[in-house]
Amino acid sequence: MFAVYYRPDLRPLAEEFKSRYGAVDLTCGGELSHVFILGGDGTLLEALRRFPCVLDSVVVHLGMGRVNFYRSAEFTIPVEEAVEKIRRGEYRVLEFSTLEHDGCRALNEISIYRREPGRLLSFRMRTDEGEVVGRADGVIISTPHGSSGYVVSTFGPVVDYRAEAVVISFIAPYTLFLRPIVLVSSQVAVETAEDAVLVCDGRETRRGKSFLVRRGGRKLKLAVFGEFQFLHRVMERLRSL
């Protein structure tokens, strides 16, 4: 069965889609084969935040937003064309890793900031490869494909989406030895001296002094029609930020 999640202004299109193809609004109450996203990447992130079961289905991202890195086709295509390709099996599935922390699942990144703005965050970060102690405005822990989002503002690397790794970067570090790092760690523990805020894909989810971010056990399964040109997607995303 098809489900749909949509940006509010695209509701008429979603209603037509449901009527024509017998689709339903996205919930986690039943078994779904494909979830159609009508909107951009922000709509996809919201769907994942509200309905984690999105990771149990194949996602068809129509690319109707300002940022469309996860779009299923190289260019935006009509809903009817996407449905026909799905029905004929003319697609492949790419998997994108996630991050997890205390119920939140991030497709792009998890960030940790000092709760009180204007002052540095003192932190100790432990990984499978060792630990780092320092001060900065914040710490960003990113998936490989998320590295072309927030991480680039810290002059971090763009990492191939197929890499089994996490990307760690630091916001305005106080000392120059703090540089972006790419690790194969399964988890990253961050302890702070002051109260801090954890932001999961742009949404504040928790406050505290101790955070454990793990590589997600489930991945986003994205239907892709034709080629997925990663560098082209990265350049397009950077121009839209």
pLDDT tens profile 171-204: 999 888 899 999 999 999 999 999 999 999 999 9
The pair of structure tokens assigned to 193 is 């001296």
CA dihedral 138, 143, 144, 148 (to 10 degrees): -50
pLDDT in tens, 139-180: 999 999 999 888 888 888 999 999 999 999 999 998 888 999
pLDDT in tens, 52-65: 999 999 999 999 99
pTM assigned to the model: 0.92
Handedness of CA 224, 228, 230, 236 (dihedral sign): negative
DSSP element (H, E) containing 44: helix 41-50
Instruction: Using the predicted structure, report yes or no on whether residue 241 has a pLDDT greater than 70.
Output: no
Q: How many helices (H) and strands (E) does the chain have?
A: 4, 16
* Residue 140 near residue 109 (C-beta atoms within 8 A): yes
Q: What is the mean pLDDT of residues 116-127?
A: 90
The CA angle 208-213-214, to the nearest 5 degrees, is 155
Mean pLDDT of all residues belonging to the chain: 93
Length of the chain: 241
How would residue 107 be classed by pLDDT, with cut points 50, 70 and 90?
very high
pLDDT at 211: 97
Region of residue 206 (left: phi > 0; alpha: psi -120 to 50; beta: else): beta
Which residues lie below 8 Å from residue 200, measured CB to CB, with a gap of 6+?
A: 49, 101, 104, 105, 106, 110
pLDDT at 150: 86
pLDDT at 188: 97
* Cα–Cα distance measured from residue 181 to residue 232, given in angstroms and rounded to the nearest whole number: 24
Of 9, 25, 41, 137, which is the active-site residue? 41
How would residue 72 be classed by pLDDT, with cut points 50, 70 and 90?
very high
Hey, is 186 helix, strand or coil?
Answer: coil
pLDDT at 193: 94
The CA angle 53-25-103, to the nearest 5 degrees, is 25
75 CB neighbour count, 10 Å cutoff: 9
* Residue 195 near residue 102 (C-beta atoms within 8 A): no
User: Domains in the chain, please, with CATH?
Assistant: 2-97+219-240 (3.40.50.10330), 99-215 (2.60.200.30)
pLDDT at 238: 82
Residue 41 appears among annotated catalytic residues: yes
What's the distance, CA 180 to chain centroid? 19
Q: What is the mean pLDDT of residues 129-144?
A: 95
